[in-house]
Amino acid sequence: MFFKLNTSIGQPFYVQLMQQIRHAAESGALQDGDQLPGIRTLAEELVVSPNTVARAYSELEHEGLLELRQGSGAFLTIKRRARGLTERVQAASRKVEDLIEELHQEGLQDNEIWRLFETALFHRAEIGAE
């Protein structure tokens, strides 16, 4: 893959590398199992300190996006991860709105719906459900 480092955007090089690798993984430019160049090779290519590349790789390894194998470089590990939290919250919020709409049509008032939700959640907490 191609990298581009910018000295004038006020962002450490290792952060720029991490973002570009993440973006390549999201856009499909990099796929599961793809190999990235070794630390030394990439540092020489970009003419940046090897510590910069090492830091980007090790933080991405920590995030679970890269797997570093001794001597053979870095491999992408894109798993079917759970959808992002924001996405899930948005979907849930749509479901809740639909439900409220439906209950309105059945003649329930906001305060009654509110109590129903509260009671249901309270009940779940009481019985120790998740």
Partner 1 sequence: MNPTPVIETIGLSKTYGKTDAVSGLNLRVMPNCITAFLGLNGAGKTTTIKMLLGMIRPSGGEARVLGRQIDSSDESVELRRSVAYVSESQRLYDYMTVAQIIRFTRSFYPAWCADTEKTLLRMYELPPNRKIKSLSKGMRRKLALLLAFARKPDLLILDEPSDGLDPVGIEQLLETLVSQCSTGTSIFFSSHQIAEVERVADRVCMIHKGRLVMDASLDEVRESYRQIDLVFNALPDEYELRMPGVERIESRGHQVRMIVSANAESVIERARAYYPSSTEVSPIGLREIFLDRVKEN
Using CB under 8 A, list all residues that contact partner 1.
7-15, 39-40, 43-44, 47-52
- Three-state DSSP class for 55? helix
Nearer to partner 1, 7 or 86 (CB): 7
| Distances in whole angstroms, Cα of residue 127 to Cα of each of 36, 108, 115, 119, 123 | 50, 27, 18, 12, 6
Output the smallest distance, CB 9 to partner 1, in A.
Answer: 6
Nearer to partner 1, 11 or 119 (CB): 11
Output the smallest distance, CB 51 to partner 1, in A.
Answer: 5
Q: Per this entry, what is the length of the chain?
A: 130
Looking at this protein, which amino acid is placed at residue 121? Answer: L
| Contact between residue 16 and residue 55 where contact means Cβ atoms under 8 Å apart | no
Nearer to partner 1, 24 or 39 (CB): 39
Output the smallest distance, CB 39 to partner 1, in A.
Answer: 6
